[in-house]
Amino acid sequence: MYEITIPENSSSNCFDSVFCSLLKYFGFEYEAYNIKYFYTEYYDSVRNRIYRGKSEANILLKDIYGIDLIFRDKNGSDDLLEIIRASAYNRPTGIVIDPYYCYWSPFYQKSHYFHMLLIAGIDYSEKKYICFDVHFDSVGYIKVDFDILNNNYKRYFAFGFEKPHEVKLESMTATIQGILDAFDGNLEAKEAELFDYFTKNDRQELFPKNLETSVPLINLMWIVEDKKNFPIALRYIENKTKKSVFSQVFELLAASEKEFTILKIALIKYAMSGILREDILKSMISQIFETDAKIVERMKYALKEINV
């Protein structure tokens, strides 16, 4: 069995916690993964949802660590147990599953979403997979019947790499630069989109009775965490380059973390009472994007210092 542990200050997002924990287990400098948490986009107009930027974990793992993240969709001819057994000696296998079928999840038989588990071992005598799951208490492990996962998983994945090597620092700074270059300075439009999302969509759909399954609140929680954890990557860059250039960015990220926390609290109150001060909501959202604009400005200056 793989004795995997969650790094300190890891995201509670199931995907990120699995990837970061695996990086730690295999000896990679997992702190660099926190570069993923820099983004300035929070609303997907096509899917009409709150989300966490556009960074793709598979691209980031390849660019920064040289790791291939290999996903395979479920196929009727696949034998999940055999797939896990065959790869267990080299790498643990992960699966993507709807938490509607996970009895330890608040989504169980209530609402559909997505979730990732890592198969850390197999208990053949009990016919159970030993799963590593950030959402299962504080231990991170739970035994799940073969049939539950075999019947309900959507995809499985594996890591492809030979051995840990040095993080590609230039890829980290290039990731930041790409986001800075793509920053949309049309703050009024961005503010209006986010404001309309919370005020024009049905409140019961946004905030169901069981708030633990509210997708907007879950994503806002992750955004708050990302604002807190992104500085880990910046400190990693400072340590590697021996340059302290991000002090003002750290202050602005702390302010952004607080602003998103306040927004989340206000929306929870709205969910519970049905009362919303739209002028206050508009002011909160405006402040969030004003802070982002300042972060982008200061980050540009800091990167120039790093690249000198």
pLDDT at 35: 95
pLDDT at 225: 96
pLDDT at 9: 82
pLDDT at 136: 59
pLDDT at 182: 92
List of domains in the chain: 14-160 (3.90.70.10), 169-307 (no CATH)
DSSP 49: E
Using a cut of 0.75, tell me whether the model's pTM lies above it. Answer: yes
pLDDT at 308: 57
Per-residue pLDDT tens over the stretch 277-300 = 999 999 999 999 999 999 999 999
pLDDT at 229: 96
Distance, in Å, from the CA atom of 177 to the CA atom of 303, rounded to the nearest integer, reads 8
Per-block average pLDDT, block size 10, for the chain (308 residues)?
A: 84 91 92 95 93 85 91 88 84 92 90 91 94 74 93 92 86 94 93 96 93 94 96 96 96 98 97 95 98 97 87
Cα distances from 16 to residues 5, 61, 149, 224, 234, in angstroms, run 13, 11, 20, 14, 18
Distance between start and end Cα atoms, the chain: 46
